[in-house]
Structure 1
């Protein structure tokens, strides 16, 4: 029987961990952006509206239905 030698796998170092100080500003920015988008899609109408009229409501109307927000 012939000896079959398998190649040894190359050792790949694990990527360095990203410090929390670099991730935190982007996480806060993403959460703030998500909250603003959620406000405009889900709440922007009636008493709490920032902009007068139905312009924003009509602009995000299909997104409201897609996300399950009732609007009429």
Structure 2
């Protein structure tokens, strides 16, 4: 069995360097932070006196996630 080394050496191609300015990433970071904060609120605190939405629909929807993340709810 012989190996063709010319195929292996021509396959090494340099990857292009891409730089993204922080100014372009900042809105996405803020959006992700707001989305994560809302998720933590709905999973951790949306029940009882702090409820923004009436009824138990949100509580029942995130009930298993609440227990998985260690938030008490009973």
TM-score normalized with structure 2 length: 0.76
Q: CA deviation at 1:62?
A: 0.3
* Number of residue pairs the alignment of both structures matches: 66
Does residue 49 (structure 1) correspond to residue 67 (structure 2)? The answer is: no
Quote the RMSD (CA, aligned, Å).
1.9
Match of 1:22 in 2: 24
Give the unaligned 5+ runs of structure 1. Answer: 1-6
Gaps of at least 5 residues in structure 2 are: 1-8
State the 4+ residue runs in structure 1 displaced beyond 4 angstroms.
none
Q: Residues of 1 paired with 2:19 and 2:36: CA distance?
A: 26
Q: TM-score, normalised by structure 1?
A: 0.78
